[in-house]
Amino acid sequence: MPQGQPLTVPDDGLSTRQRRNRPLLMVHTGDGKGKSTAAFGLSIRAWNQGWNIGVFQFVKSAKWRIGEQTVLERLGRLHDETGEGGPVEWHKMGAGWSWAKKQGDAEDHARASAEGWQEIKRRLAAETHDLYVLDEFTYPIAWGWVDLDDVVATLRDRPGRQHVVITGRRAASELIDVADLVTEMAKVKHPMDVGQKGQRGIEW
């Protein structure tokens, strides 16, 4: 266990252990690479703790499958077969949310985003998962497809011990205010700057 010492100890009536185990709302934002990659890295850490993981990809390009999905779903099957780690569900908007019977109009991103958020609200109320990865969720918020005030209130008042990580550029300041941990991934250099496109194994 790491020995980091906080600079301040708040007068909140909680023990160190209680405070340590409070659920976190995490935001990975900024224009640099690593926002989603770090969220999926966090997921394998969580899997190893036996946590129940729910991934929700709010992106059209989720029609194609990234390596993390294959690996996390493989780890989920390993859990089902051997009891190692935790269960994993991976849902993506691009190909139609996997819980929805009717795939709906795949082009209607606004409605699909809103449906995704409603399902996440139901799961938060039911305390379905230990870790929620809301990948690229800042965009439907920024575009007004999902109501920011509703997101902030729902996440702030979520019951139990549910961790949430949200990724995407331009996270709203209201979201940052309510978050416990915010990292800005800032681009210093990217191969695209010198004409090199994304490649297998690095970008997906």
Q: List the interface residues with a copy of itself, window 110-139 (CB under 8 A).
A: 130-131
The sign of the dihedral angle between the CA atoms of 22, 137, 184, 204 is positive
Per CB under 8 A, does 200 bind a copy of itself?
yes
**Closer to a copy of itself at the Cβ: 101 or 201?**
201
- The secondary structure of residue 62, as a DSSP letter, is G
**Closer to a copy of itself at the Cβ: 82 or 101?**
82
Per CB under 8 A, does 194 bind a copy of itself?
yes
Q: Where are the alpha helices (DSSP H) in 61-179?
A: 67-82, 109-126, 138-142, 148-156, 173-178
Residue 57 backbone class (left: φ over 0; alpha: ψ -120 to 50; beta: rest)? beta
Task: Give the pairing type, strands 88-92 and 53-57.
Answer: parallel
Per CB under 8 A, does 76 bind a copy of itself?
no
Per CB under 8 A, does 156 bind a copy of itself?
no
Among 13, 19, 60, 175, binds a copy of itself (CB under 8 A): 19
Per CB under 8 A, does 13 bind a copy of itself?
no
Q: Which stretch binds a copy of itself (CB under 8 A): 90-98, 135-143, 147-155, 182-190?
A: 182-190
Q: How far is the CB of 97 from a copy of itself (least distance, A)?
A: 22
**Closer to a copy of itself at the Cβ: 7 or 157?**
7
Burial class from Cβ neighbours inside 10 Å (0-12, 13-18, 19+) for residue 90 reads buried
Query: 172: how many CB neighbours lie within 10 A of its CB?
Result: 16
Per CB under 8 A, does 95 bind a copy of itself?
no
Restricted to residues 39-58, the positions that interact with a copy of itself (CB under 8 A) are 39-42, 44-49, 51
What is the rounded distance in angstroms from the CA atom of residue 152 to the CA atom of residue 54? 19
DSSP string, 141-164: HHTTSS-HHHHHHHHHT--SS-EE
Per CB under 8 A, does 66 bind a copy of itself?
yes
Per CB under 8 A, does 169 bind a copy of itself?
no
The amino acid sitting at 47 is: W
**Closer to a copy of itself at the Cβ: 125 or 181?**
181
